[in-house]
Amino acid sequence: MSGPLEWRLPPEHMRPKTHFHDRVTRYHEFAPDQYKIEEHFWINRQSEDQGAPNDLYCFAYGECCWQRDAEAIFKEDTNSWAFEYVTAGSFTVEYEGGERELRAGTLYVHAPGGPIRLQANRGGICRKRVIILSGSMVDYLCNLSNLRISPYIEIDAPQRVDKIFDQVKELASSGSCYLTEDLSVCSYSLIAELGRTIKMLKYPRMLTHAVQFIDSKLHENLTLARISDECHVSANTLSRLFRKHLNVSPINYIISRRLERARHLIAVNDLSFKEIANECGYTRESFFSRAFKQKYGVAPNGYRRAILAGKVSGSSRT
């Protein structure tokens, strides 16, 4: 996906059990010939009551091109799992109050249960490939593979994941006499591959759970005892895991993630510093300002002025 998006419409005479249809969506910005988001999807329009609800049901395949700073909010969907594979550039995803930067080679699993916000960062054009699955078997397999508690996946074997996405695209765009079944095989292969990747990660499951919980509750009062209770582990054990694998204490990790979120909020909207402090778990703006300056060497108002002057990028990493 290095060049412009290119698409083939489905053949006129297909004989699959389930038909896919091309959809092109453009979010209009500024002028008729300027778009910040362009996406092409093949949508499965078969109603679920016509298929087997327990099957792996591939609802859609798509590819997206986002211009810098493009942003969209995806509302709650209780029936499907979305697999968002970043192939170029980077996105920031915000889910249940936490956020994470997704760079090329990262796949994000959006499980049913809540809205997410995606924003293309300021480094230029961002691209992603998307597979959307539904059905109770999807829930079972994804939960079995720990995809709900480990949704941010650094792909260690991109050629294997690329091959699966290519197969789904070929089936969706060209058809098959056994389209539903063939797509189900590809869908199972994707879930199995992501489960294998998670098992290869160096972080223990309870540490991953703790990190995800912290990222989703940055605006709340987080204590070591609360996190330990959530992870069903002692405070001492949790502290040892953070120091061993992340080289930081749980409390310092919370502070770092809160300030990273604050820096992002300063860069992308006009919230007051008091509002940003509250969003990041600080009860007093003065405490927030002091911590921000200590970490980044500049006060929040100075950082915002630098952003407006174009001297720094709000998405840069320290």
Q: Write down the pLDDT at residue 52.
A: 47
The answer, as to whether pTM is greater than 0.75, is no
Of 3-12, 39-48, 82-91, least confident by mean pLDDT is 3-12
CA distance linking residue 90 with residue 104, whole number of Å:
6
In 3D, which of 161, 86, 92 has the Cα closest to residue 126?
86
Higher pLDDT, 129 or 68: 129
Higher pLDDT, 50 or 144: 144
Buried b (16+ CB within 10 A) or exposed e, 274-310: eebbbbbbbeebeebbebbeebbeeebeebbebbeee
Higher pLDDT, 6 or 206: 206
Q: What is the mean pLDDT of residues 160-186?
A: 88
Q: Write down the pLDDT at residue 261.
A: 82
* Opening angle at CA 304, ends 298 and 308, nearest 5: 130
CA 99 from chain centre, in angstroms, equals 9
Give yes or no for residue 155 having a pLDDT over 80: yes
CA distance linking residue 292 with residue 255, whole number of Å:
10
CA distance linking residue 209 with residue 198, whole number of Å:
13
Higher pLDDT, 85 or 1: 85
Q: Write down the pLDDT at residue 313.
A: 41
Of 33-37, 110-114, 121-125, least confident by mean pLDDT is 33-37
Q: Write down the pLDDT at residue 28.
A: 53
